[in-house]
Amino acid sequence: MLKYRELKEKPREFLAAAGLTDEEFQCLLPQFENCYRQLSPSKPKTLKKKQKRRAAGGGRKSHLESLSDKLLFRLVYQKTCPLQTMQALECGFESTADQPMDTSFVAGFAEGFEVPWG
């Protein structure tokens, strides 16, 4: 599995995988963190009158431990598999449970994004 702390030690591979240098990645990380915190609910929402099946904090845990790993994953995904996301963004589709990546996050992140370099 790609891990930021391991891949950052290999600048050539990092650039090939993420499409950014580590310096550019570090400039982008605070913006990603702000956006991630705003768009990710702190508590899962449940419908009224529906019993929760698990206690708070239950369920599958993320394999991506740090926000650096999460950003790296999204950058690599966007670089290697852009077709479905681009189709959804161009056609104005809402994200659904069967999409591999939440395009509402991409759209929300793009709205607040400022290029901090060049």
What is the tens place of the pLDDT at every residue in 50-79?
A: 676 777 667 777 788 899 999 999 899 888
Q: By three-state DSSP, how is residue 81 classified?
A: coil
99-103 long-range Cβ contacts below 8 angstroms, 24+ apart: 101/74, 101/77
Q: Please, are residues 54 and 19 in contact by the beta-carbon 8 Å criterion?
A: no
Q: What is the model's pLDDT at position 16? A: 93
Structural tokens at position 16 = 């090939």
Taking the domains of the chain in order of start, what are their residue ranges? 4-39+63-111
Give the pLDDT of the chain (118 residues) as one tens digit per residue. 889 999 999 999 999 999 999 999 999 999 999 888 887 766 656 556 667 677 766 777 778 889 999 999 989 988 887 776 677 777 776 655 554 445 555 555 655 556 555 5
Q: By three-state DSSP, how is residue 70 classified?
A: helix
Q: What is the model's pLDDT at position 77? A: 85
